Amino acid sequence: MTPTPEPIRGVIFDLDGTLTRPILDFNAIRAALEIPGRTPILEYLDTLEPEDRDHRSKMLDDFEARAANDAEFNNGVPELLDFLYAASVRIAIVTRNSRACLNATLSKLDIRVQASVTREDAPVKPSPEPALLAARLIEVEPAFCIFIGDFQYDIITGQAAGMRTALIPSQEPPDSMPAPDFRVETADELIPLLRPHIRERGVDL
């Protein structure tokens, strides 16, 4: 007999491309910051001398500030959040974005979370450390969490942290990406998939 999965008591979301529509144009950011090819932006900045890194980091902050100002919910996100709020599921966000960008986005869209982890708080995805920190902050064991994102880093991070994962792809993922537990096209499609794993106190979901 297949063992029953642990219930889901915590949900950890990625931000850009998951909770919000993809706004950041990473190719434009790389061009403006003179970063070659498809090199990951944050990892490239870490290789620079402090003065050059600070200058280009400020440029990145400006891109993120504009994105936060234009932030919109991704398809189905309000419905999924309402479902999770009703179920008293603890919610966190793990993002490679800055704290300032995250806070501005949460304020604009009135998203309520119990914790958040940004690039200022921990090593960035695909490290499992930000996901593990988020789980500690919402006081939910990783086995009782699901990590929801739009990119391969989210799936790699969640699985390395011992969490279930769900992909809402903003682009076709590479063949090398590990398979998530769930894959959907819009956030609200996760509601019937998560419902059997969420135990609400006295409420029939």
* Domain shared by 99 and 128, yes or no: yes
- The pLDDT mean for the chain works out to 92
* 143 and 107 fall within a common domain: yes
Assess if residue 187 is contained within a domain. Answer: yes
Q: Are residues 83 and 183 in the same domain?
A: yes
Task: Indicate whether 54 and 18 sit together in one domain.
Answer: no
CATH (domain of 143): 3.40.50.1000
Residues 47 and 15 in one domain: no
Are residues 39 and 93 located together in one domain of the fold? no
pLDDT digits (tens, 9 = 90+) for 72-101: 999 999 999 999 999 999 999 999 999 999
Residue 2 covered by a domain: no
0.85 exceeded by pTM: yes
148 phi, psi to nearest 5 deg? -115, 125
Nearest to 152 by CA among 128, 179, 182, 189: 179
Q: Are residues 37 and 88 in the same domain?
A: no
**172 in the same domain as 98:** yes
Give the pLDDT score at 27: 87
Average pLDDT over residues 194-200: 83
Domain of 117, in residue numbers: 10-22+73-197
Q: Tell whether 64 and 105 lie within a shared domain.
A: no
Task: Give yes or no: residues 104 and 165 share one domain.
Answer: yes
CA dist 53 and 58 (Å) reads 9
SS3 63: helix
Are residues 142 and 163 in contact, defined by beta-carbon separation less than 8 angstroms? yes
Q: Give 19-78 pLDDT, tens digit per residue.
A: 999 888 888 999 999 999 888 999 999 999 999 999 999 999 999 999 899 999 999 999
Together in a domain, 90 and 183: yes
- Taking only the tens place, the pLDDT of each residue in 129-164 is 999 999 999 999 999 999 999 999 999 999 999 999
How many domains are contained in the chain? 2
